[in-house]
Amino acid sequence: MDAVDVIRTKRDGRRLSDEQIRWFLEAYTAGDVADEQASALLMAIVFQGLDPDELATWTRTMLESGDRLDLAAVPNPTVDKHSTGGVGDKVSLVLAPLVAACGAAVPQLSGRGLGHTGGTLDKMEAIPGWRADITPARMIEILTDVGAVIAAAGSGLAPTDRKLYALRDVTGTVESIPLIASSIMSKKLAEGTSALVLDVKIGSGAFLPEPERARLLAQTMVGIGEANGVRTRALLTRMDTVLGRAAGNGLEVIESVETLRGNGPEDLVEVTVALAREMLALVDIDTDPAPVLAAGDALGVWEAMVAAQGGDPGAPIPVAAHREVVPAPASGVLERLDARAVGIAAWRLGAGRARKEDAVSAAAGIVCLAKPGDEVRAGEPLLELHADDPARFAGALAALDGASSVGDRAPAALPLVAERVGPS
């Protein structure tokens, strides 16, 4: 095999053979193919795509490049959820203990934020003492004893994807649907769960804002999961404005705990319950999660899960040293509060990172004092910005310029769950 021949094959729109795919990915992982050559193949895939057979081989090769967790010792049925990321998307923090409280086991292997979207691990690390890195044996113990775990994927899971992902991030090849789907699903399949629900975001704050592309991604990932023996479904959920009222690591933990107490914002509760119902249905549990959440019955699972990973569930979450208020631009009804703008502003306040190695602030972020549909008065507080360094406010305010609009009537109420993808 020759790397240049593989690159030319895809560049010219021809199908890669199974042998070419396996050889190239294995050689790249071993260091025998250069980053420049892998970058060229990734760019060719961006323009030429992968057909279903190519994608199946590509994903399977990445899956087989490393370890695969064995969750057979966990007594309850296992089911996980993956989100394509959004602004204020703290669903995992509520969903994992909720589904566990209903009788399933949730091995939630999560990631970190990049750009305007937040990362679940960054949020959890706002809790004093909490650790993302745990061994597979410890994960199985927690799943058995508590029912839910939120942790970092070990370096042994899909190492080819880990290497390719870092390359895609710096070569403008992130947005390819086959590459996104294979990246997500190789890690999720390596996790060893028996069922998976995908939360694919649409709207201004989503990674793929266009419904058509998001739907194709959902269909592609569901197909990969089902083909590999994992019962898989997807929901397309709207991310046009912040989910809940908080965007920022510690602020989202505080809001998640309130939601687990039964006091959550309606939109966060709606999306969380919809995903929980899908997860429970996939593992044949007929408990309705809505009353469980409303009654606060999942809070104990949260506290046990946090404590099992070294965290103190009763410790105060870090608070920012500085705050600044953004006033409403006019009186009337808030018609729009753009999720992407709020996400970029929270990132500039210190809640996110531009590069994976950047540090994030546990306290930085934004609280939305009003949401679309609420009445506001000119000059009264609309957003509250939190930062450790007041010099960060200027960049955040610039990102928020034009992010909101006020009119005479509330925007049309669209369902947060836009579509379901997968077998009936």
Q: What is the pLDDT of residue 239?
A: 92
Please confirm, yes or no, whether 386 is among the known catalytic residues: no
User: What mean pLDDT is predicted for residues 61-66?
Assistant: 94
Q: Work out the pLDDT band at 120, boundaries 50, 70, 90.
A: very high
Q: Work out the pLDDT band at 279, boundaries 50, 70, 90.
A: very high
What's the domain count of the chain? 3
Q: What is the pLDDT of residue 246?
A: 97
On average, the pLDDT of the chain sits at 94
Q: Which residues pair with 235 in a beta bridge?
A: 199, 420
User: What mean pLDDT is predicted for residues 28-37?
Assistant: 96
Residues 169-187: tens digit of each pLDDT: 788 888 899 999 999 999 9
pLDDT at 355 exceeding the cut of 80? no
Q: What is the pLDDT of residue 21?
A: 98
The CATH number for 329's domain is 3.90.1170.30
User: What mean pLDDT is predicted for residues 389-409?
Assistant: 96
Asked if residue 157 and residue 122 are part of one domain, the reply reads yes
The CATH number for 21's domain is 1.20.970.10
Asked if residue 227 and residue 97 are part of one domain, the reply reads yes
Asked if residue 167 and residue 22 are part of one domain, the reply reads no
Asked if residue 340 and residue 211 are part of one domain, the reply reads no
Residues 233-248: tens digit of each pLDDT: 999 999 999 999 999 9
Count the helices and strands in the chain (H runs, E runs).
16, 13
CA distance 105 to 283: 10
Sheet strand arrangement including 79-83: 79-83, 195-202, 231-238, 417-421
Which one is catalytic: 187, 188, 238, 392? 187
CA distance 96 to 108: 7
Is residue 63 domain-resident?
no
Which one is catalytic: 168, 215, 233, 238? 168
Asked if residue 266 and residue 225 are part of one domain, the reply reads yes
Q: Work out the pLDDT band at 142, boundaries 50, 70, 90.
A: very high
Is residue 227 domain-resident?
yes
Is residue 176 domain-resident?
yes
Which one is catalytic: 122, 161, 240, 338? 161
Is residue 73 domain-resident?
no
Is residue 71 domain-resident?
no
pLDDT at 205 exceeding the cut of 90? no
Please confirm, yes or no, whether 168 is among the known catalytic residues: yes
Distance from chain centroid for Cα 356:
15
Give the predicted TM-score (pTM) of the model: 0.94
Distance of CA 393 to CAs 88, 224, 340, 347, Å? Answer: 19, 43, 17, 11
Asked if residue 121 and residue 256 are part of one domain, the reply reads yes
Side chain identity at 386, as an amino acid letter?
A: H
Sheet strand arrangement including 332-337: 375-376, 332-337, 404-407
Asked if residue 398 and residue 275 are part of one domain, the reply reads no
Is residue 57 domain-resident?
no
Which one is catalytic: 82, 162, 340, 386? 82
Asked if residue 378 and residue 239 are part of one domain, the reply reads no
Q: Work out the pLDDT band at 62, boundaries 50, 70, 90.
A: very high
How many CB atoms within 10 Å of residue 135? 10
Please confirm, yes or no, whether 187 is among the known catalytic residues: yes
Residues 10-32: tens digit of each pLDDT: 999 999 999 999 999 999 999 99
pLDDT at 35 exceeding the cut of 90? yes
Q: What is the pLDDT of residue 345?
A: 96
Asked if residue 335 and residue 232 are part of one domain, the reply reads no
Asked if residue 88 and residue 191 are part of one domain, the reply reads yes
Higher pLDDT, 108 or 166: 108
Which one is catalytic: 65, 176, 182, 183? 183
Asked if residue 294 and residue 253 are part of one domain, the reply reads yes
Is residue 378 domain-resident?
yes
Q: Which domain holds residue 86?
A: 79-314
Residues 207-235: tens digit of each pLDDT: 888 899 999 999 999 999 999 999 999 99
Boundary residue ending a domain (314, 345, 374) = 314
Q: What is the pLDDT of residue 424?
A: 64
Q: What is the pLDDT of residue 116?
A: 66
Q: What is the pLDDT of residue 77?
A: 97
Asked if residue 101 and residue 239 are part of one domain, the reply reads yes
Contact 205, 338 (CB under 8 A): yes
Is residue 43 domain-resident?
yes
Boundary residue ending a domain (275, 294, 314) = 314
